[in-house]
Every structure is written in structure tokens, then in C-alpha cells.
Amino acid sequence: MISFNQYKALTFDCYGTLIDWENGILGVLKPLLRVHNTNLNNEQILEIFAEFEAELEKGEYIKYREVLKRVVQKFGERFGFEPTADELNSLANSIQHWLPFPDTVEALRALKQKFKLVIISNVDDDLFAFSAKHLEVEFDRIITAEQVKSYKPSLNNFRFAIERINLPLEQILHVAASLYHDIVTAKSLGISTVWVNRRADQNIVGITGSAVSQPDLEVPDLKTLAALVSPKYTKDGLQL
């Protein structure tokens, strides 16, 4: 267990941690692939998505909207079909409809009472603006890949955020679902970490990929984190 009293800011990954992006991605790619006579199960789709996304984010910086467009194009190349213009843009256009996990908003409201809240996300500014409306809390800082011109797990994104937060590292706690994109890099810089392992009960690492790192704390969801932080917050999400 870690001592939460030492922290003044919680930094969050967004997609996969706060926003249910697996269902968002599947909601677009499953019907798209079916139209093109390509039948893959959920895990296959998510694994291939993660493969393509990581490949595109390692190269010269392009906006995330373009990353998602090229992901769809690569699905077509691998499975022998040519996506339409609407299909190429379908993933990026769908982000405005991706919803938070059921526990996210209330947990963020509880955590906001004690900490500054900061987003560090692999996304474009305008795309996160859609998600911000669903999250319903005011973040103290929003750091996007578009601002940094690189994607996590790059050290650049965290260094940029640390500079903007302007607090000692020991007062920052990073909360994320991805070992690969977030936990490994944050730990390497001396930032404490919480791994939100939303697939713990399934024994599956998930779309964000596996990596070797030991977070300071593992929780199955945000409501559990909020309950650990505040005795006034229960795991059922009720204020006492």
C-alpha cells in the first residue's frame, strides 16, 4: 500500500483507463470487418489494432486522427479489402461517442476533492475535447500527444507533463491501464504508479500490450482507488 498523503497531483491516461476504448474500437471495427467478409473475434481485433497502432506511433509524428485512419487502411491491406473514405475516418469520428467506464465520473469527482487532476493522453486536442464532456470534471492540466508531438511510451510526453505540473516527482502519482504505454515509462522517471487492471478477473493483459514493470499499486477499477484514498468514498461509489 502507498501513502496517498504525499501526493498533490494524479495524472491519468484516458483511453482504457477512464474511457472504455475497447468497446469503442470494437463497435466500429467489428461491423466494418463483417461487411468485408472478415470474421475475427474481439481479442483478435484488439490485438491487431494494438499492433498497427504501435507501429504507426513509433514513426515520424502524425496526428492521432491520421493514426486511426491508417489503422483501418492496414486492416484492409492485411485482409484484402479497400476501405471506403467513410470507413477510413470511422474510428476517429467515433471517439466523440466513446463513453467512460461506469465508475469513472464519480471516482474522478471524489479524487478531485483531494488532488489536482491531469490528463496525459495519446490523442489530439480536439478528440480529447469530446471525451472531456463525458468525464464531467475539470482537469487542472491536459497534456496530449498533439502538444508533445510524440506518443507514449516516449519519455517526452511525461517530461513535458512534469514540466507543466511543476511539482516534485514524489508528489505525482500516475494512474493508467497500460503497462506498456504508461507504467514502465513513468516508473523509469521516478514517478509512482497505479495500474488500473480492468481485466484482472479475466487474466488478460488487454489491448494496451504487456510489459515488465511493477506498479506501486494495482487496482481493478477507479472506484477501488477512490475508496483507498478517501474513507468517505465506498467501493459501491456512495458518499457517506
Cα 149 from Cα 152, distance rounded (Å): 10
Q: Is 13 a catalytic residue?
A: yes
Contacts of 139 (CB under 8 A, 6+ apart): 117, 118, 119, 132
Amino acid, res. 51: E
Selecting among 13, 20, 103, 124, the annotated active-site residue is 13
CA dist., res. 91 & res. 11, Å (int): 26
Distance in angstroms (rounded) separating the CA atoms of residues 34 and 170: 49
Give the chain's largest Cα–Cα span. Answer: 56
Cα 153 vs. chain centroid, distance in angstroms?
12
User: At 71, which helix (H) or strand (E)?
Assistant: helix 64-79
As annotated, the active-site residues are 13
